[in-house]
Structure 1
Amino acid sequence: MATVSDAHLRTPKVHGPDVSAGAARAFFLDGHVHALLLVSAAGVLVSVVERGDLEGVPDAARARSVGRLAGRVAGPGDDLEETRQAMATRAQRRLAVVDRDGVLLGLLCLKRHGRGFCSAADVAARDAERAANQVG
């Protein structure tokens, strides 16, 4: 059985727990971003914020106040196919992966077509393409 740990990205972009809603909105300007991971200095996942969570929230508010963990996290030992099916059914593209203590281990990224997951190589290629487009 394949597990979530077989497919999650191990170095997701993270932010501290005090990010403002305004800063979170700026992060979501990148269309590939589907989840903002707010992590404590100890590495514990504090909140997962999705774009829609920020609607109507003042820029100065803390983004963590509108995010949540329920329904937005998976364990590394969870069955990968069951998790993929659940994500596809909910039209959910990202799940944070945490251990039993809530420490962030990575991010599970469902591809747009819903049949597989993004790899570290996929992310690196997209970052390189974005950097090349900014130069030119």
Structure 2
Amino acid sequence: MTSEHLRIPDELANLCVVDVVVRLPKLMPIDTRVRDARAALRDDHVHMLLLTDHGRLRGTLTSGDMPDHADDMALSLTYAVIEGRTVSSDLSAEQARLLMISRDLRRMAVVDADGSLLGLLCLNRRHSGFCSDEDVHARATAP
């Protein structure tokens, strides 16, 4: 971790994860097939899929989670990961930023104590802060 990464950005000093979470991330149902998950992940703006069932997070998927040989019709949930990819909403935003940097992650699902999905934490490219719902919407609608 560089010294630049260790400096607490002023805008994060008094915030919790719940204050910086993207509340409208890309969600997919738990019966999503591998082919559909692969198609969704081809979008340059989608880095992680969140597989949910009745508001609860059941798994996360990145393009690297599904092996090349995975059957297109298989359930993508088979390859989903939760461990190490979730963070509590009451963690400080700065602690979450440092955790993500240490794990070399730019996305983490935000859940409450019972596993209900609250959103997605998206570390920006500079690792200095987090993307907002407005940032995500602007990128999605950009020409």
TM (norm. structure 1) is: 0.90
1:55 corresponds to: 67
Amino acid at match of 1:55: P
RMSD of aligned C-alpha atoms?
1.1
For residues 67 and 83 of structure 1, what CA distance do their matches in structure 2 show? 22
- Runs of 4+ with >3 A deviation: none
Which of 79, 85, 97 in structure 1 is aligned with 2:110? 97
SS class of match (2:134): helix
Cα deviation, residue 89, structure 1: 2.3
For residues 73 and 125 of structure 2, what CA distance do their matches in structure 1 show? 32
2:10 corresponds to: none
Answer whether contact 2:22 2:133 (CA < 8 A) is retained.
yes
SS class of match (1:108): strand
For residues 91 and 2 of structure 1, what CA distance do their matches in structure 2 show? 22
Aligned 1:75-114 pairs, distance under 5 A? 75-114=88-127
* Unpaired segments ≥5 residues, structure 1: none
SS class of match (2:47): coil
TM (norm. structure 2) is: 0.85
Amino acid at match of 2:21: H
SS class of match (1:77): coil
* Unpaired segments ≥5 residues, structure 2: 1-13
Residue-pair matches, total: 129
2:131 corresponds to: 118
Determine what percentage of the aligned residue pairs are the same residue: 40
Cα deviation, residue 124, structure 1: 1.5
For residues 97 and 58 of structure 1, what CA distance do their matches in structure 2 show? 29
1:64 corresponds to: 77
Cα deviation, residue 62, structure 1: 0.9
1:45 corresponds to: 57
SS class of match (2:30): coil
